[in-house]
């Protein structure tokens, strides 16, 4: 006795698999293009009321640090380090947030482990 699938299920065979493979390839291509575009962008953030400004790339690389001379206090180097860290982390969060939003819009919210 053969099992029958309800109407609309199965029957597509290799055609459905090929269509699924094409869709997966397009999704991968779109994600790679978006990643390349995002890696070229720069994100800036400030801390300490603008005393420290940093810029990072979409590759999550720190490219620029600007420090106002009035915030440089040889007696309080820790505060300066904290300001640099705060500004860098904020810029990195902005870059990561945009990448996540872009990838989610491409994938339609589909969570594919290891893709991003």
Average confidence score pLDDT of the chain: 85
In the chain the domains, ranked by start, together with CATH numbers, are 14-107 (3.30.1310.10)
pLDDT tens digits along 56-104: 999 999 999 999 999 898 899 999 999 999 999 999 999 999 999 988 8
Q: 2 pLDDT exceeds 70?
A: no
The H-or-E segment that residue 39 falls in is helix 14-40
9 falls in which pLDDT band (50, 70, 90)?
A: low
Q: What is the distance between the alpha carbons of residues 36 and 28, in angstroms, rounded to a whole number?
A: 12
Q: What is the pLDDT of residue 14?
A: 65
Contact 44/90 with Cβ under 8 angstroms? no
């Amino acid at each position: 006795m053969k099992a029958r699938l309800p109407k609309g299920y199965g029957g597509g065979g290799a055609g459905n698999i090929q269509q699924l493979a094409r869709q997966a390839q397009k999704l991968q291509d779109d994600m790679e293009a978006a990643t390349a575009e995002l890696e070229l962008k720069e994100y800036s953030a400030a801390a300490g009321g603008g005393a420290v400004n940093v810029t990072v790339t979409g590759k999550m690389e720190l490219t620029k640090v600007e420090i106002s001379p009035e915030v440089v206090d040889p007696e309080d180097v820790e505060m300066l380090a904290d300001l640099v860290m705060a500004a860098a982390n904020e810029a990195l969060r902005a870059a990561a947030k945009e990448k996540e939003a872009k990838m989610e819009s491409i994938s339609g919210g589909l969570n594919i482990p290891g893709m991003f």
